[in-house]
Structure 1
């Protein structure tokens, strides 16, 4: 082997190890506007990609893509969570994408495996945790959310962009080789619903992020024709209980995550102090659910902030459960 070829192979090996470390290293879960601004401003740091992952409920008159085109954090790209999803037999939207769909979406957004992805939404905290769940579950640990989203960024006096967005540079993103086992299927949830958590240590605590009225069946679901109610043996933990409201200088309200000790209090109120300790210690598995897998991401991220590393998420959530098995309500 020539000296030159040997040197090239050594350089490629070093580069591969560095890339591997960059891919596997986990970024902070939450970032403030100032931290994000500093990241983008550092020319010697890893590449940063800002991604607007805003999403609105089916009955909302607002359009996430149009709002992105009108105003965004400079240099941002838009991630359509309904578009970057795998087809579903029940026609459900924003289900977890397969590995190839995820990889192609990253390339389209200009994201490489070493990119630090910062996700945000226009609510403050609403759909960005779901987007973070997608990235982290599919192995892109170098990802965070902007806590407080676009409204907090504006409230901090940081610049926004209103001209047409720039096109990202082309990237190559190989389909992930591994993913964790966070996604729960209907069959798994049904089997788990037959277990009594008070007598079975293997029973997962299913935490329902929907408003309490929909959980109890007193209020209707936003999707026409869908019954309300809840999965047997699940607990009501409305996602807003993990969040705090703020009013910006422009009068716009937005949400951020509560401090971890306040998140713990909300969890204790929902499931009790004993089960809370078990969840935090990893002695009791927990799974987040909601209407269609969106705000379940808020509960997933809140538990991550408490140090719970392995939290399940029922991707179909109540919509899939009710459509498949209304007889079990």
Structure 2
């Protein structure tokens, strides 16, 4: 069972295994059509496309038309239906990949763990690593028979916006923001029209989890870099712009042997939508 990362050589040995499901999670925040177009142009053999917007997120508004962020979590029943459509069973080994260092594939990794599915891993280095290893890509799409995955006890934790508001007073946990430093400081209006960060948050850009080769850093190095940010993983909450790349930090913590941190799914896009919530800027 592969539960965090998998390398291209290992995946290549199982690429035709009917008990394995490979999902392409490529995406572009500024071009929603990019993922499907990139998938159609070439993908791992046998892979299926998992849309961040359509498959791995839920409605942006909740009860009373409350805005839940750009990529709120899908309802659990809808998520299970989607995973079954991909042909996933309780015993299926799932591999997620993208071409962006795992920034989107990690979302699928977290979602599967949220319904208790442990056998899910991210392709380390993504599509570039696959191609660098001399492995082929394909434009064929072969539908799979529906799967029968069921919900089991969750392997993840999540907090709500109300929890984060309350934490401003209690200081019970440390918020760690996975966005780039310019967005954290409030200097990138293209992506964040309301710039800044949650007061008291710390910044750990998700790309800092990767080495120069685009693969995750060794576990010991990740542990050394994360340790100063919080007292313990159980007292840490990961967030980002919309709850997607925060999962990259959660994956890195698992690789580092530091499990237990939570996700704030609404993240900055939900937080800054209400003017009464305080905003900090600068470093």
TM value normalised by structure 2 = 0.89
Mapped partners of 2:200, 2:70: distance in 1: 26
Match of 1:244 in 2: 211
Alignment pair present for 1:172 and 2:148: yes
Mapped partners of 1:94, 1:218: distance in 2: 22
Match of 1:220 in 2: 189
Mapped partners of 2:223, 2:68: distance in 1: 35
Match of 2:35 in 1: 64
1:192 counterpart SS class: helix
Match of 1:288 in 2: 238
Greater C-alpha Rg? 1
Task: Give the superposed CA RMSD.
Answer: 2.1
Match of 2:24 in 1: 52
Mapped partners of 1:74, 1:103: distance in 2: 24
Mapped partners of 2:79, 2:33: distance in 1: 26
Structure 2 unaligned runs (5+)? 62-66
TM value normalised by structure 1 = 0.77
Alignment pair present for 1:314 and 2:281: no
Are the counterparts in 2 of residues 52 and 68 from structure 1 also a CA contact under 8 Å?
yes
1:288 counterpart SS class: strand
Report the number of matched residues.
273
Does 1 or 2 have the higher relative contact order (CA < 8 Å, sep 6+)?
Answer: 2
Deviation of 1:160 after TM superposition, in Å, equals: 1.0
Deviation of 1:94 after TM superposition, in Å, equals: 3.0
Change beyond 3 A, Cα 1:327–1:297: closer
Mapped partners of 2:195, 2:167: distance in 1: 20
The ranges of structure 1 where at least 4 consecutive aligned residues each deviate by more than 6 angstroms after the TM superposition are: none
Structure 1 unaligned runs (5+)? 1-25, 197-202, 247-254
1:95 counterpart SS class: coil
Mapped partners of 1:160, 1:166: distance in 2: 14
2:202 counterpart SS class: strand
Alignment pair present for 1:106 and 2:83: yes
